[in-house]
A and B are shown apart, each in its own frame.
Chain A
């Protein structure tokens, strides 16, 4: 039953198609857009890549993802066709993450991808970089992140409680795609940190265990502000190994305060590397004072005397373990500490141009 042009589509047919997708086990829990060949063709027209190109199999799970499979999942997620190059770049950026190309998707940690978008593509596609950047409410942000989740679920076949073994998972998994607020950031964008030319539309991605706010509208002193961050960054519950990695998505106000006091991004990173950590006594109290030969922490049988000397253990090995972006509205001085699962690759992926003949259609 085809509708007249301009007429409202048939909701009963749409509902049957949605239920069909649920029944096949393709859904992450929310309704999917049923994908037809004409819709798939619109997505494929947005890339010059061969639909059959394999873009990330995991040999150990016996599945391969092709460009066409990624496109079907992106369309199901609710992406518009023009988002597809961003989805492909996000996927490629995640493939550079050691955990995501290994066992990360199967982990009991249930990590969530953080997808950071830079460049003009943010305004072209309406990718939110300002108020409520962690969502919800913006189609591009919501569906690009969801597309990655559906590719993992359907493309790789890693489903919750089967090959995915998240103990609790985390709120926001498959929904964290943010534009960087380059216009109100005092610092170069992430993609430039990663070596791409300024003004490049690009995606950076890493896996997160959670995101935790730091609300400090209380001080204009940069050192006090940094100490407030250090407390959240240094909490013992997040420490598993000797070293950890923690990203900061600064709200514009915090970033501007720090930059106004003369802090470059590198200065902020160096400050955190120097000041974040715990004393031996703190670590002992939490059963994490020992570090074995595999750098995993354990409850050492330290004596009170051994832990009472105030010895300070740093937890961030280098600036590379402290990726920084700026996003959100300039309406309150708050930021997000993002707890990195593994380590950011330090690489950003440029978003490919839409093929000329297709774009001209």
Chain B
């Protein structure tokens, strides 16, 4: 009986399958949490989406917070603050190797905490975003993409991108609570 060839794969940290948060019927009166990851144009992009949600969907206002380390998932303190103060959260913009993955991890974290979330990544990072969703127990987690790159865009281009994504943002925030294919 020959020896087996040993498997070098690291241990999987236990993670229960993710369940998406219950969706509100609409965004009227909702406080929109915006979690920006310090990447260039992230504040502008999320801010514009927040502004549009207030203007066109009667959201009450926005709360903007910044991740201290874009490469790592959101802190428990920030997660709890958003869960306490906001009806929904938008996070991004994932436009690098580590921050795209961690933005998706944050989206799943918010869903687990009962807050509907929208994650926005550049479309260059779909593979890593999908891989992270799987690692987070949320294979097929739906997030939104915008064409790469985001960093060099001018303010009017950012507004245009936000405008384009708005219907999908609303759809995810008030849509059915399902884990399905990415946008």
Contacts and interface: CB of A to CB of B under 8 A. Distances in A.
Contact of A162 (B6, B12, B99, B127): B127
A157 B96 contact: no
B9 A155 contact: yes
Contacts of B15: 62
Interface stretch (B49-57, B68-76, B155-163): B68-76
Given A103-B72, A106-B71, A154 B40 contact: no
Given A102-B69, A154-B9, A60 B101 contact: yes
Contacts of B99: 103
A192 interface: no
A54 B13 CA distance: 11
Given A102-B98, A103-B98, A34 B72 contact: no
Nearest to A293: B38
A64 B10 contact: yes
Given A37-B3, A106-B101, A163 B131 contact: yes
A106 B13 CA distance: 18
Contacts of A54: 11
Interface string A13-50: 00001001100101000000011111010000000000
Given A57-B13, A62-B15, A150-B8, A164 B97 contact: yes
Contacts of B101: 60-61, 103, 106, 163
Interface residues on A, range: 35 or more
Contacts of B100: 165
Chain A contact surface mostly: mixed
A128 B11 CA distance: 33
Contacts of B96: 107-108, 165
Nearest to B137: A62
Given A60-B73, A163-B131, A106 B12 contact: no
- Most chain-B CB neighbours within 10 Å: which of A36, A38, A60, A156? A60
B127 A72 contact: no
A166 interface: yes
Interface string B111-146: 000000000000001011001100110000000000
B71 A69 contact: no
A36 B2 CA distance: 9
Contact of A154 (B3, B8, B69): B8
Interface of A: 17, 20-21, 24, 26, 34-38, 40, 54, 57, 59-66, 69, 72-73, 76, 102-104, 106-109, 150, 154-157, 161-166, 294, 296, 298
13 contacts: A26-B9, A35-B5, A36-B5, A54-B11, A57-B10, A64-B11, A65-B11, A103-B70, A104-B71, A157-B9, A163-B131, A163-B135, A164-B97
